Amino acid sequence: MLQAINLHLWRGDQPVLRGVSFQLAAGHCLQVLGINGAGKSTLLRALSGLLPVEEGSVLWRGTDTRLDRHAFHAQLAWMGHGAALKGDLTARENLRYSAGLRRALSAAAIDAALGRVGIAAPDPRLARQMSAGQQRRVALARVLLLACPVWMLDEPTANLDAAGQAFFALMLTEHLERGGVAVVATHQALGIDARNLQSLELT
């Protein structure tokens, strides 16, 4: 479903990605490993199209993603370093104004997603009053709400406690069972069925 062919990317005269290739079938997850600075985030940004690659191509269902960027992005749930939450909005408002931009969402759907990630629905707190782990959970709720077949997640379990990590493993498993694909950059064990897991070590 998702395929990368020989991706090359330089930062200045420093090569970051040197011929990265992989192929992900429906229901599979790619875990991107590598020491800090190995280019895990760069790879994710290149796959998503945020960062143009110098060589190679990313194929989604056999079509180069650069040919129809909007169509590919409509299928993509992205989670970057930042939680992309507004400190002065509540969790519910944050989701309404971010995931809600792409899909019409009812208040009940948002509350259900927040409930799943372990945030009691009518939480009156503003996002800046939440802990880093709770903000991460809200960002995960956004990924759930977008209901996209492709997930690209950069360190999704950072700041999450054991229960949060267990929940992430569950939501990832369900996503893969529905036939989605995921690219996850993290060092932590993902806790999903090894048959669905591919890993890519960047050096």
CB of 39 to another protein, least distance (A): 14
In total, the chain counts a number of residues equal to 203
H or E stretch covering 64: strand 63-64
Under the binding rule (CB under 8 A), the answer on residue 177 touching another protein is no
Which DSSP string do the residues of 94-112 spell out, in sequence order?
A: HHHHHHHHHS---HHHHHH
Cβ distance to another protein smaller for residue 138 or 197: 138
> Which one of residues 31, 41, 98, 157 is an interface residue with another protein (CB under 8 A)?
98
From edge to edge, which strands make up the β-sheet containing 14-24?
14-24, 2-11, 55-60, 63-64
CB of 142 to another protein, least distance (A): 8
CB of 88 to another protein, least distance (A): 4
Backbone phi and psi for residue 76, each to the nearest 5 degrees, phi listed first: -110, 130
CB of 101 to another protein, least distance (A): 4
Under the binding rule (CB under 8 A), the answer on residue 74 touching another protein is yes
Q: Quick one: which segment of 20-28, 89-97, 161-169, 195-203 binds another protein (CB under 8 A)? A: 89-97
Under the binding rule (CB under 8 A), the answer on residue 16 touching another protein is no
With 0-12 / 13-18 / 19 or more C-beta atoms within 10 angstroms meaning exposed / middle / buried, residue 187 is middle
> In 62-193, where does DSSP find H-type helix?
69-73, 91-102, 107-116, 132-146, 162-177
Three-state SS for 153?
strand
CB of 93 to another protein, least distance (A): 7
Under the binding rule (CB under 8 A), the answer on residue 55 touching another protein is no
Instruction: Please report, as ranges, the residues that interact with another protein according to CB under 8 A.
Output: 48-52, 70-76, 78, 80-86, 88-89, 93, 96-98, 100-102, 104
